[in-house]
Amino acid sequence: MIDELHKMINFLHDKGITGYHPSDKIDAEIGAVSIELWNKYYELYQKTQKIHDFLSPFEVVSEAISIINGKCTIPKALNIEHPTLVMLDDDTEVSVVSRAQWGKTIKDPVAPPSEQYPKCVFSKKDDSGYLVEWRPRDISAKAFFWGLKKPVKPKWGYTITADGIRAYDKSTSTNLEWSELLYPDIRDRVCIKLGINLRELSIVQSLYPERQEEA
């Protein structure tokens, strides 16, 4: 997708429709759009299957992580930003409590954390990863974490040909993880960020040939 976006913007430049945009500027705007879409869809992640499918490329799951003295750490390399599910190795689903509610939860006189109903909180990040605190402290188990990672920072890599032309180089590029179904939306959002007026007739004819056929 990263190459298609660059080709489209350069095509508009070659047509004289828009000014020149350096590749790193295009990458920065593509990255900004990717983060915006991720934030938008994350809020709706659990509500519709369609949105769930859109975010499926960002789903990650940990290996079994041992809980020791009421704590464990999700490795930094896993890059989990938002947990969606936590389960113990005996298939017990664990309630993830917000940091703001943690103090109240562990002192709950009616339904305190127990071996049958353990609870955890994502405490803080450090260089080793994401620290998770557990109650009861003496719980002896291993946990699996499901969550969502943030989008990668896109990069359009290229090599210089013998003719002095910059050609796409997949090996040095970082592509977007989004489904191709979202390409039109991402394309339009990137154009807007680059100041390209999508209402101009020449742009409509270039980007939306299907509209011409319908007319």
Q: How many CA atoms lie within 13 A of 167 on its CB side?
A: 7
Q: Is the pLDDT confidence value at 198 over 80?
A: no
Structural domain ending residue among the three candidates 131, 148, 165: 148
Tally of structural domains, the chain = 2
pLDDT digits (tens, 9 = 90+) for 128-165: 888 999 999 888 889 999 888 889 999 999 999 888 88
pTM of the model: 0.76
CA dist 190 and 176 (Å) reads: 13
Residue 65 vs residue 14, higher pLDDT: 65
3-class DSSP state of 146: strand
As given in the structure block, the two tokens for residue 163 are 């003719």
Structural domain ending residue among the three candidates 96, 117, 148: 148
Q: Are residues 50 and 156 in the same domain?
A: yes
Asked if the structure places residue 214 within a domain, the reply is no
Q: Are residues 156 and 202 in the same domain?
A: yes
Asked if the structure places residue 45 within a domain, the reply is yes
3-class DSSP state of 147: strand
Structural domain ending residue among the three candidates 98, 121, 148: 148
Mean pLDDT value of segment 159-188: 90
- Residue 47: pLDDT band (50, 70, 90) is confident
Q: Is the pLDDT confidence value at 103 over 70?
A: yes
Angle between helices 2-14 and 23-42 (to 10 degrees): 130
Q: Are residues 43 and 74 in the same domain?
A: no
Range of the domain at 170: 2-54+152-209
